[in-house]
Amino acid sequence: MRIRFKKWARPEIAASQICMDDSKAMRGKWRTDANFARPEQPFFVELGCGKGGWISQAALQHPENNYLALDIKSEMLGMANRKVLAAFERAGKAPDNVRLSIINIEHISEVLCPQDGVDRIYINFCNPWPKESHKKRRLTHPRQLGQYASVLRGELHFKTDDPDLFNESIVYFEESGWSILTKTFDLHADEPADNIRTEHENMFTEMGKKIHFLIAAPPAGAFGKPAPSFDDELREQRRLKAEAAETD
Ligand SMILES: C[S@@+](CC[C@H](N)C(=O)[O-])C[C@H]1O[C@@H](n2cnc3c(N)ncnc32)[C@H](O)[C@@H]1O
């Protein structure tokens, strides 16, 4: 979806008490330096928060958790900032358990490390990138899962309307050693009372599409280990190819 340029977004993000403008400087310090009112609380991260429909409700409904919502686009983060601030103001509460930041999640290891101890990751309706040559940009691609596993102590929750993305993501999780704990192809058939609908979830539901949902846990022992870099992956693939060529 093409989002119109919003002149107000960057200045509002820069002025907002809940937006962190240097997310790389926060690496390893989210729990201590993000000024959460209760830093000892579980730390949940939403990847690709869009206009902030989900994060504004989740953070307000769950003051017992701290939340960080990330997006690559300032227009999106600007809208999420407005939505979160408005929701907390309406409720007469301080937004002291929620932070927003602009990053490219493909490089999430530059922003999060094991010291940040992420308790849960949410991926809500990430871009499906259907073309074969673009699939590595998917937020559920194995090269992403390696980065998440290194910082994640708990579970990853994933929702999408896209059956191909969902089915291929199941393979990504399994091949990367993750365990699928829960899986449904129709979340709304028996919608959990605590499900928080996102903007895209509402839109796709109105279009008659089914919502797919899973919960996955990272491989045992992966937490705290450095995420494999893309260069390492490439080297390993070349080594295996060379080995296979030698034995032919
Ligand atoms: C289809 S929208 C979904 C928004 C929201 N989660 C929802 O369910 O309504 C995908 C969002 O992910 C963001 N996004 C896509 N690729 C990203 C990346 N590599 N890093 C950070 N954000 C990304 C986009 O800017 C967009 O806001």
Q: Give per-residue pLDDT as tens, 176-211.
A: 999 999 999 999 999 999 999 999 999 999 999 999
Cα 138 to chain center, whole Å?
11
**pLDDT single digits (tens) 19-36:** 998 999 999 999 999 999
**Ligand 1 centroid, distance to 160 Cα (angstroms):** 12
Distance 141 CA to ligand 1 centre (A): 15
Cα–Cα distance for residue pair 18/239, rounded to 1 Å: 46
pLDDT in the model for residue 83: 98
Structure tokens at 161: 């309307």
Instruction: Among 3.30.70.660, 1.10.150.530, 3.40.50.150, 3.40.50.980, name the CATH number for the domain at 9-247.
Output: 3.40.50.150
pLDDT of residue 200: 98
Ligand 1 close to Cβ of residue 205 (< 6 A): no
Task: List the residue whose alpha carbon is closest to atom 5 of ligand 1.
Answer: 50
Q: What distance in angstroms lies between residue 1's CA and the mean position of ligand 1's atoms?
A: 10
| Whether the predicted pLDDT of 241 surpasses 80 | no
The Cα–Cα gap between 169 and 96 comes to: 34
71 CB within 6 A, ligand 1: yes
- Rg of the chain on CA atoms, in Å: 19
Mean pLDDT of the residues in the chain:
94
pLDDT grade, residue 227 (50/70/90)? Answer: confident
Starting at the edge strand found earlier in the chain, the sheet holding 118-124 runs 98-102, 66-71, 43-47, 118-124, 152-160, 212-217, 179-184
